Each structure stands twice: as structure tokens, then as C-alpha cells.
Amino acid sequence: MAKASEKREKENTFVTENGLEVKIKKVPPMILQKVMNQVKMPERPMYETAPTVSGRTEVWPLDADSAEQTEHGKARWDYYLEQLESAQAVQNENVTRACFAFGTECEIPEDGWDEIQEELGIEVPPKEKANLRKAHYLMTELGAEDIAELMAMIMRNMSLPEEITTEATASFRGAVRNGSDGPDVVEESGSDS
């Protein structure tokens, strides 16, 4: 029986590039849902069709194709996509923070990282807010690959489908390669999304 618990213990521990051991814990799914719901997503712009012979018009959601064909559509569509990307980046950061706060356990080094960040003008959560401080440390002091792998382990530990875990990990890695603050954002197209 000891071997099974040892294996489970190893599977639920991640060691970062700099040797920090991070134990993975379950994250309550409703926490992530509540965190995601805190970010207001922009409303998709609408457009009105030209009147038919009978004088009837219809209102449809704007998409990449219709944006090209409507007055000011391209500008409205581009603005919407910028707002959507911004909201998704905030949402992603909040979800990552929640995953690290609830889904990890580790000893944060006392090597002056917090003082350096504060000197650079970065707000560091106080020691009294240990889980937020830990999440902040993991989000700002680990490398991109460590963060991506840690997030993948947390998601797998939540029993999320493998395709979601793989897609999220790839998205995060793509964002880091592209130099953005959040995940790659897939542009919406078509009127059914």
C-alpha cells in the first residue's frame, strides 16, 4: 500500500527548473467558475440588415464577414476583438492566480524576491495573505515552461478532459512565445459563435 501512496505523492508534486517543490492539490471547480464570471466579457456588436421589399429589417451578430460589408463594421469588429482579447487576458490571469492559490502547496523562498519586485513598483501581497502571495510568487518568479506545466498538472488533477489540458497548455506557451500577457486568443468568425 505504501508504494501506491508514494506514486500518488510523486504524481502530485512538481519540481520547477530552480528546484522548488510544488505539491498539487484539488481546485474546487466552482471557484474557477466564480473567478471567470467576475470578468465582464464585451457584448458582441450587432448589425441591421438592409430593408427587404416588404420593409422588414433583421438584427444579426456582427462577424468577420459581415464586418466587411457593413458601414463602420470593420472598426466595430476590430474594437470588439481588442476588448475580447483584453477581457480574456484578465480572465486567464485570474484563473491562473486562483489555480495557484487553491491548487498548490509550497514553501516560498525568502531570498529577497519580494523586495526586488517592490523596488520595481510591483505590488506584492503581504505575508498575511499567504495563498495570494504564493500565487503571485509562482506567477512572477517561475519560467514560462514551469507555469505551463504546473497549470497542466493542476488541470489534470481536477480531472478535466485531456484535450482541454493540452489546449490550455499550448495556448499559454503560444502566448509566452508571442510576448503577450495572456493566452492566444482565437478570433471569432461566423455568426454562430
pLDDT, tens digit only, all 193 positions of the chain = 445 434 444 678 999 998 999 999 999 989 999 999 999 999 999 998 888 888 898 899 999 998 988 878 899 999 999 999 999 999 999 999 999 999 999 999 999 999 999 999 999 999 999 999 999 999 999 999 999 999 989 988 887 667 766 766 666 655 555 554 444 443 444 444 3
Residue 170: CA count within 13 A, CB half-sphere: 7
Residues facing residue 47 across a β-bridge:
60
Domain boundary assignment for the chain:
8-39+85-178
* 24: β partners: 104
Distances (CA, A) of 129 to 71, 97, 110, 122, 135: 51, 13, 15, 16, 10
98 within 8 A of 35, measured Cβ to Cβ: yes
pLDDT score for 156: 86
- E strand or H helix at 68: helix 64-69
What pLDDT score does 186 carry? Answer: 38
In single-letter form, the type of residue at position 99 comes to C
Phi, psi of 13 (to 5 degrees): -125, 135
Cell matching residue 65: 464577414
Residue 43 corresponds to which cell in the numbers above?
A: 457584448
- Distance, in Å, from the CA atom of 33 to the CA atom of 89, rounded to the nearest integer, reads 16
Tell me what pLDDT residue 146 has.
Answer: 93
**pLDDT on residue 7:** 41
Report the pLDDT value the prediction gives residue 172, as an integer from 0 to 100: 60
CA gyration radius for the chain?
22
